[in-house]
């Protein structure tokens, strides 16, 4: 039986997930982090700089944790089906259902677009028909429910 030696070379060859994020504070900078390795991150002035430096930081992180005898997390192969189950308050369900109806898209499509927009996923930018010129105000203690204001017209859902 062949035993795999889990040394620096072994971990260096694993497909770790690198996350690159832009921050706009303090003049703007980029942060690269290894998702599976806690606190393994570096910032740079450009995406390329951050990505180049994260490889060295990753190796230093693994080396020091091996020397200290700490466990090294390995990447997990996630099989993303594209389906999730979400639980939410009924009031939120109604709110987003009404918004999807106003946007003339399915509830599923509206939720995908809203999530994509929230995380900056570029494929869904500017896909919603209206430009959020509609104001929503939910009054839970009021039997009128959701009040939608569009321009000067007001109507109740």
Q: What is the mean pLDDT of each run of 10 residues along the chain (157 residues)?
A: 80 91 85 93 92 94 94 86 91 93 91 87 54 41 40 39
User: What does the pLDDT read at residue 1?
Assistant: 60
User: What does the pLDDT read at residue 147?
Assistant: 39
Residue 101: inside a domain, yes or no? Answer: yes
Shared domain check, 53 and 104: no
CATH of the domain at 44: 3.30.160
Shared domain check, 96 and 135: yes
Question: How many angstroms separate the CA atoms of 146 and 88, rounded?
Answer: 17
Shared domain check, 97 and 57: no
Shared domain check, 147 and 97: yes
Question: How many angstroms separate the CA atoms of 61 and 12, rounded?
Answer: 11
Of 48, 62, 50, 49, give the one whose Cα is nearest residue 16: 62
User: What does the pLDDT read at residue 2?
Assistant: 66
Residue 81: inside a domain, yes or no? Answer: no
Who contacts 146 (Cβ-Cβ below 8 Å, separation ≥6)?
94, 95, 98, 136, 137, 138, 156, 157
Residue 1: inside a domain, yes or no? Answer: no
Shared domain check, 146 and 99: yes
Residue 85: inside a domain, yes or no? Answer: no
Residue 120: inside a domain, yes or no? Answer: yes
| CA quadruple 144, 145, 146, 150: dihedral, nearest 10 | 0
Provide the domain limits for residue 37.
8-68
Shared domain check, 51 and 101: no
User: What does the pLDDT read at residue 25?
Assistant: 82
Q: How many domains does the chain have?
A: 2
Shared domain check, 96 and 60: no
User: What does the pLDDT read at residue 22?
Assistant: 87
């Amino acid at each position: 039986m062949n035993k795999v030696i889990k040394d620096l070379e072994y971990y260096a060859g694993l497909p770790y997930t690198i996350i690159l994020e832009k921050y706009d504070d303090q003049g703007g900078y980029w942060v690269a982090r290894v998702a599976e390795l806690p606190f393994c991150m570096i910032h740079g002035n450009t995406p390329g700089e951050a990505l180049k430096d994260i490889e060295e930081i990753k190796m230093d992180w693994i080396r020091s944790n091996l020397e200290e005898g700490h466990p090294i997390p390995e990447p997990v192969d996630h099989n993303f089906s594209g389906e999730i189950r979400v639980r939410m308050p009924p009031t939120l369900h109604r709110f987003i259902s009404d918004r999807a109806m106003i946007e003339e898209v399915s509830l599923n499509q509206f939720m995908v677009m809203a999530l994509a927009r929230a995380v900056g996923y570029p494929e869904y930018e500017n896909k919603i028909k209206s430009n959020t010129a509609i104001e929503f105000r939910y009054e839970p203690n009021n039997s009128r429910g959701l009040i939608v204001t569009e321009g000067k017209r007001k109507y109740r859902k």
